[in-house]
């Protein structure tokens, strides 16, 4: 299968995280903060950081809460890479996965006040590319800066 993200991974990354965390939201928040702080050091602007923050938060919290059901003996594997021009993250949980094509469009009138689908939509807006594995328990996000 063609993958835009795979083509972009050969890159001179400035910083790399390859970690596995327990399904504790606070551990997710701490890692998100670290990544955003490092991106800020690389002069990513506030608008871009907002989009990365939103996407990273959705991907990691979805894995912890919906994928692993907040079960602390289940792990979330996170591989993140950043540089002055690119942000990449792969997040994998131990859950059964889901079908991203079956998520309803949250902008349709009948879905506007439903809780699901908004996070996935925002990730697709803010990231250059969003890909899932066939099981649906792994997401990859890529942002290429327009500079």
Partner 1 sequence: MAEFECIDVSDSNDVSIVRLVDEKVMDPVRVQKLGDELLSLPRQESDRILINMENVRFLSSAAINKLIVLEKRLSKKGGQIKFSNLQPEVKEVFNITNLNSVFDICEAQEDALEQFRSDQ
Q: Which residues bind to partner 1, rule: CB under 8 A?
A: 25-26, 29, 32, 46-47, 50, 53-54, 57-58, 61, 65, 106-107, 112-113, 115, 118-119, 121-122, 125
Nearer to partner 1, 14 or 34 (CB): 34
Cα gap 116→20, rounded to integer Å: 26
Nearer to partner 1, 51 or 136 (CB): 51
CB of 110 to partner 1, least distance (A): 12
Nearer to partner 1, 11 or 104 (CB): 104
Do 137 and 23 contact (CB within 8 A), yes or no? Answer: no
* Dihedral (CA of 92, 22, 102, 58) sign: negative
CB of 65 to partner 1, least distance (A): 7
CB of 32 to partner 1, least distance (A): 8
First to last CA, the chain: 29
CB of 2 to partner 1, least distance (A): 27
Q: What is the DSSP string of 89-114?
A: EEEE-SS----GGGS--TTSGGGTTS
Nearer to partner 1, 58 or 93 (CB): 58
Do 60 and 138 contact (CB within 8 A), yes or no? Answer: no
């Amino acid at each position: 299968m063609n993958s835009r993200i795979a083509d972009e991974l050969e890159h001179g990354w400035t910083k790399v995280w390859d970690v596995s965390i327990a399904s504790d939201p606070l551990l997710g928040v701490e890692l998100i903060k670290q990544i955003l702080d490092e991106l800020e050091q690389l002069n990513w602007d506030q608008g871009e950081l907002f989009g990365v923050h939103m996407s990273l938060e959705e991907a990691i919290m979805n894995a912890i809460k919906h994928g692993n059901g907040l079960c602390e003996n289940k792990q979330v594997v996170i591989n993140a890479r950043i540089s002055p021009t690119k942000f990449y993250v792969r997040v994998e949980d131990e859950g059964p996965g889901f079908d991203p094509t079956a998520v309803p469009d949250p902008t349709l009138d009948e879905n506007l006040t439903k809780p699901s689908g908004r996070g996935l939509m925002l990730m697709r807006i803010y990231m250059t590319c969003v890909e899932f594995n066939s099981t649906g328990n792994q997401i990859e996000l890529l942002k290429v800066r327009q500079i």
